[in-house]
Structure 1
Amino acid sequence: MTTTGSSIRLARPEDASALVALQQALDHESEFMLLEPGEREPDPESVEARLAGCADGRDPSYLVVALTGPVVVGYVDVTVLPFTRARRSGYVVAGVRADHAGRGLGRALMESAIREAGSRGMGRLELTVMEHNHRALGLYLRCGFQVEGLRRAALDVHGRRVSEYYMGLLLG
């Protein structure tokens, strides 16, 4: 799939270094990511192993990436637990570089991840979003997610307590 000068596809093991670089950049440029700068493992080896497991079916999870040329500029990670009772639900984490925001890339990534979930027979996607992250909250609502609850004062961000919405999308 191509949108706004970027291509969107499932991540491959060879994307591991670029994906780690993207996540580290997002940790620095956005207060909305869960990890603080420096908390993320910088070695792409474990990400490469995870992506290999996703590609060969050992791991039911998947990642969708957006590339502008050879550069990964956004992603949606859908983590699926390996347990029989939980295999139809995926937990979503998403991020797009600030210099690519506002161009429809987040929506295209999310729609691609939702289509992939449907093609895999999944029944539910879920995520959390910081209460004051209005841009992401709007995106998730436009993509069909609904607020299912509020995790009051769930995080500490720059010395202040931040609440998160818990959101879910049922996939038919």
Structure 2
Amino acid sequence: MTVNDPLIRLARPGDASALAELQHILDNETEFMLLEPGEREPDLEPLKLRLAACAEGRNLSYLVVALDGPAAVGYVDVVVLPYARAKRTGRVIAGVRSGHRGRGLGGALMRTAVQEARTRGMRRLELTVMEQNRHALALYLNCGFQVEGLRRAALDVQGHRVNEYYMGLLLD
């Protein structure tokens, strides 16, 4: 990363519009996101409320965002369930704009998200990644995640059954 690279920080309630726009763009740019174009909620209010709850500590989840000026170009969303038995585990969702891939941004976002998880006393991060998404798989392996299983025919993408790797990272 260099001085002209995007700013990486925890997302704030004021980032809701930029994050929603990024998610809609990613849904159209790649087949590797879970949601197809048009499936994502267009109403910004739930995202604004969630970001406010995260910022105020009412929600254990958090989002790390990469901003290039006012535009969000990448993010890592760590979703934490509010239950005592699950609150030390985060479910990771990540995406980076196509024009910013291959420049280390995904790794920088993931390292920031992992460090935040450690700061919060979390013990585990987990995610799924489509079997054919070799770039993301390599990124996650490079960040210390391990393949823990294969979810056979887990998704239907453009009429094809797609396998997903289930991956985890132990933090302590």
Asked if the contact 1:2–1:8 (Cα under 8 Å) also holds between the matched residues in 2, the reply is: no
Between the aligned partners of 2:3 and 2:125, the Cα distance in structure 1 is: 23
TM superposition shift of 1:159: 0.3
Alignment partner, residue 86 of structure 1: 86
Runs of 4 or more, structure 1, over 6 Å off, are: none
- Equivalent positions of 1:68-87 (< 5 A) are 68-87=68-87
Between the aligned partners of 1:10 and 1:2, the Cα distance in structure 2 is: 19
TM-score where L is the length of structure 1: 0.98
Identity %: 70
Gaps of 5+ in 2: none
Between the aligned partners of 2:35 and 2:46, the Cα distance in structure 1 is: 17
TM superposition shift of 1:69: 1.3
TM superposition shift of 1:4: 5.6
Report the secondary structure of 1:84's partner residue.
coil
TM-score where L is the length of structure 2: 0.98
Aligned partner letter, 1:111: R
Alignment partner, residue 6 of structure 2: 6
Aligned partner letter, 1:128: T
Alignment partner, residue 65 of structure 2: 65
TM superposition shift of 1:3: 6.4
TM superposition shift of 1:5: 1.3
Alignment partner, residue 147 of structure 1: 147
Report the secondary structure of 1:125's partner residue.
strand
- Equivalent positions of 1:23-34 (< 5 A) are 23-34=23-34
Between the aligned partners of 1:72 and 1:32, the Cα distance in structure 2 is: 18
Alignment partner, residue 39 of structure 1: 39
Report the secondary structure of 2:85's partner residue.
helix
Aligned partner letter, 1:126: E
Alignment partner, residue 121 of structure 1: 121
Asked if the contact 1:7–1:67 (Cα under 8 Å) also holds between the matched residues in 2, the reply is: yes
Between the aligned partners of 2:60 and 2:4, the Cα distance in structure 1 is: 29
Alignment partner, residue 99 of structure 2: 99
TM superposition shift of 1:2: 7.1
Cα 1:31–1:3 change in 2 (3 A) is: farther
TM superposition shift of 1:48: 0.3
Q: Supply the RMSD in Å over aligned alpha carbons.
A: 1.2
Asked if the contact 1:92–1:127 (Cα under 8 Å) also holds between the matched residues in 2, the reply is: yes
Between the aligned partners of 2:83 and 2:2, the Cα distance in structure 1 is: 34
